[in-house]
Structure 1
């Protein structure tokens, strides 16, 4: 029974760790590890500690994850240590042992339900995807379809679970599914193709390595989360005519065009301003005279907030995808629209929070609230949405309010708002479900009507 409970925990949304292999008897403390880079004729050595860390030999540095240990040993930016560390005694990689552990867990765990339950269907689906990736025939999905494998509609509460499941199967998406739109296409690939190919592979999948340590991976809004960033690019060649450029700009209502000499070679841009300046200086000049070479170009996974200075200076930046192709453009208007869409639910959630806090503070003492929340409460400002539910869900408190409303229906709506609030406060880059703003507005209107005693 204990093993079954342990198995259930292993697959409940967290990454497998070396200590799990120890507890399952798949590897022992002191086991010797080897990481070979055959092309470079380099071999690194390590051993497993009793706590499940990896100790490099002979210098004795210890690391909580095999990936971090491998990266330090090889002096590389990132390596999937599960794939490159081999147990010397058996010749099996840590990844093979991890897969055996997962298979065993799925086979022995009892049926369960709920978000944290084992999901043998997903496990088998990812096993198939891993095999296809290793056969150089990776599966392709839209991000929306990928999330749907877990029953998720957006990159909200389940994103850590999804990343953990992918990592446990040695998979990553390229491009990173965090950093593009829901309708962008991603491929499921092996996080590294082997010790000799790690560097080349990492160059193509960037920071999406399936490492256990995700704290260094930025999760804010990225350039690629904007629809236009990777949505295709209208461009002209350096030897194009003014008529060609002007026609494309007029037909598409563009203020600028990329000038490309091949999909990866950005020569600059032509804009209405640069065209006007060049023609004013020389009415007979060709389009090359209107090319502005000093234009911004950023990677799709760059944090959007870091791009704002370039946008302020030029009004647009071009975007490179995971293969370094110039694949799209982001303008000031795109950013204003994105932040505007995010700001509306943010402000509405803030008003709900303030209104509920005001209702509770006017009707209850901190001691009463602490008793209902079953924890110390030092300030009404420290209450969470869950606290509001617990307090207002109490029949006695509800009776004190005297609202002619159904308590269970009201608390059910608060639970919906709690989930919305989690997405908003974690800056979920995806559009909220249809009707979200309307729910927030109507709750705020109700709280203004009943929550203000004046």
Structure 2
């Protein structure tokens, strides 16, 4: 078999693996597959403003703007610069002049080919094909203005993931490859929030309502990866959990009754779902009634009410929370849909901090056990790398060292090694998830598992 024939047989398999396994399609992939020729002209028409932009495909699979010559790997990056827009899905707006097809159509054909070639290969996983078919159906529904709705938890389960610390890059790549986004953004709300699978707006002037946050990026990611996201306002359960409010023409008695019934310290004053007129609080009511026992609600409204988007990073909102004690939250449709208080933030950071402390104690205990019973040369052999200090060891290396039968024999613990290592492996995965700052709360039994393992190590570690 010649090298050329062998390469021709291997190429479709490799392509299916990387296209269906977590990498975003690039223009260069279309060129390599023969779906787009180097030198092909592209056109982006903004009918609303009467402007047309042109580009061409380079030999290296980049998009070159005409006539200025700037080159981009991402069609979205090229479209943004050409039109001076904050965000736009270039796969949808750039069309091939020869055929009139958007780049997105060619991308879908490439994915279909990849699925077909994967199906012909023995041993190929069915997960990739199932996800592709599921997202292809979701795209058809989204194009027909009947988008599917999921809880974030159910959406992640399509990939077998339980949280957003698991397979997040793969999930985002698969969605992007099918021209889909979630509204609201699934990384910026709670696991139980409902999201819709929608198509990125074809007209870049429509992007802001669906995709654009305070710091927008090309919707398909110019480098193929999303930027880092910290804990957002929408990750807190109360942020989009519904909002009690009163109208500006309500009575103070109505406001007080709603606050008492719901144990609220404040109440939004809304003139329609998007128009926040202010807030009434026990303090503002007391001031109004003190000045006039017959005061109207309008006299108790405090206009200093802050409303932030659900996708704002929580750390950026802390100054307002410290100053006022609460902020109202707008959802993806700009509706005032929830509230976040300082108590919500304290609870959220507390839930994140406790596992850190437990893992820190576990790390110190495991290091102490290994340092007391082994020398560095033994540890280095088991870790298959030079080790200058026990402080350099990772959680995975603790597991590797303790998995060794000779090490376990040295410890002399009256425990089953396989069962202990199985639990340690669970903790290692929990630790990786937590240390990557997954915005999702840890599973309910996480703290209990950490505490019990720490307790066991305190008990038996003294025997070593």
How many residues were matched structurally? 449
Q: 2:3 maps to what in 1?
A: none
Mapped to 2, the partners of 1:394 and 1:50 lie a distance apart of 53
Q: 2:319 maps to what in 1?
A: 309
Q: 1:163 maps to what in 2?
A: 172
Mapped to 1, the partners of 2:61 and 2:255 lie a distance apart of 61
Does residue 249 of the first structure (1) align with residue 259 of the second (2)? Answer: yes
Matched position secondary structure for 1:220: coil
Structure 1 residue 27: Cα displacement: 2.0
Query: Of residues 145, 154, 159 in structure 1, which corresponds to 2:154?
Result: 145
Structure 1 residue 215: Cα displacement: 5.4
Structure 2 vs 1, CA of residues 268 and 123 (structure 1 numbering), >3 Å: closer, same or farther? Answer: same
What whole-Å deviation, never above 9, does each CA across 1:203-243 have from its counterpart, x for those lacking one?
A: 33324864134656442111111111111111111111111
Does residue 191 of the first structure (1) align with residue 200 of the second (2)? Answer: yes
Query: Of residues 86, 90, 93 in structure 2, which corresponds to 1:81?
Result: 90
Query: Of residues 393, 406, 409 in structure 2, which corresponds to 1:399?
Result: 409
Residues 274-289 of structure 1: matches in 2 within 5 Å? 274-289=284-299
Q: 1:44 maps to what in 2?
A: 53
Mapped to 2, the partners of 1:113 and 1:379 lie a distance apart of 43
Q: 2:306 maps to what in 1?
A: 296
Structure 2 unaligned residues grouped into runs of 5+: 1-8
Residues 118-129 of structure 1: matches in 2 within 5 Å? 118-129=127-138
* Pairwise CA RMSD: 2.0
What whole-Å deviation, never above 9, does each CA across 1:339-382 have from its counterpart, x for those lacking one?
A: 11111112112221222222233333444333322334444333
- Paired residues of 1:8 and 1:118 also in contact (CA < 8 A): no
- Paired residues of 1:11 and 1:118 also in contact (CA < 8 A): no
- Paired residues of 1:235 and 1:259 also in contact (CA < 8 A): yes
Matched position secondary structure for 1:119: helix
What whole-Å deviation, never above 9, does each CA across 1:360-416 have from its counterpart, x for those lacking one?
A: 333334443333223344443333222222222222222222222222222211211
- The list of structure 1 runs, each at least 4 consecutive aligned residues, that deviate by more than 6 angstroms after superposition, is none
Q: 1:330 maps to what in 2?
A: 340
Mapped to 1, the partners of 2:460 and 2:293 lie a distance apart of 70
Q: 1:353 maps to what in 2?
A: 363
Structure 2 vs 1, CA of residues 258 and 112 (structure 1 numbering), >3 Å: closer, same or farther? Answer: farther
- Paired residues of 2:233 and 2:313 also in contact (CA < 8 A): yes
| TM-score under structure 1 length normalisation | 0.93
Q: Which moved more, 1:275-284 or 1:359-368?
A: 359-368
Q: 2:330 maps to what in 1?
A: 320
Does residue 258 of the first structure (1) align with residue 264 of the second (2)? Answer: no
- Paired residues of 1:33 and 1:48 also in contact (CA < 8 A): yes
Matched position secondary structure for 1:40: coil
Q: 1:449 maps to what in 2?
A: 459
Structure 1 residue 165: Cα displacement: 0.8
Q: 1:236 maps to what in 2?
A: 246
Q: Which moved more, 1:102-111 or 1:226-235?
A: 102-111
Q: 2:423 maps to what in 1?
A: 413
Q: Which moved more, 1:118-127 or 1:369-378?
A: 369-378
Mapped to 2, the partners of 1:97 and 1:176 lie a distance apart of 26
What whole-Å deviation, never above 9, does each CA across 1:258-309 have from its counterpart, x for those lacking one?
A: 0011111101100001111111122222111111001221110111111111
Does residue 430 of the first structure (1) align with residue 440 of the second (2)? Answer: yes
Structure 2 vs 1, CA of residues 300 and 22 (structure 1 numbering), >3 Å: closer, same or farther? Answer: same
- Paired residues of 1:277 and 1:290 also in contact (CA < 8 A): yes
Matched position secondary structure for 1:147: helix
Mapped to 2, the partners of 1:19 and 1:118 lie a distance apart of 25
| TM-score under structure 2 length normalisation | 0.92
- Paired residues of 1:170 and 1:210 also in contact (CA < 8 A): no
- Paired residues of 2:169 and 2:225 also in contact (CA < 8 A): no
Query: Of residues 80, 98, 102 in structure 2, which corresponds to 1:93?
Result: 102
Structure 2 vs 1, CA of residues 255 and 15 (structure 1 numbering), >3 Å: closer, same or farther? Answer: same
- Paired residues of 1:206 and 1:322 also in contact (CA < 8 A): no
Structure 1 residue 325: Cα displacement: 0.5
Q: Which moved more, 1:97-106 or 1:28-37?
A: 28-37
Mapped to 1, the partners of 2:143 and 2:351 lie a distance apart of 40
Structure 1 unaligned residues grouped into runs of 5+: none
Matched position secondary structure for 2:430: helix
Does residue 133 of the first structure (1) align with residue 142 of the second (2)? Answer: yes
What whole-Å deviation, never above 9, does each CA across 1:176-198 have from its counterpart, x for those lacking one?
A: 01111111111110012x2xx22
Matched position secondary structure for 1:298: strand
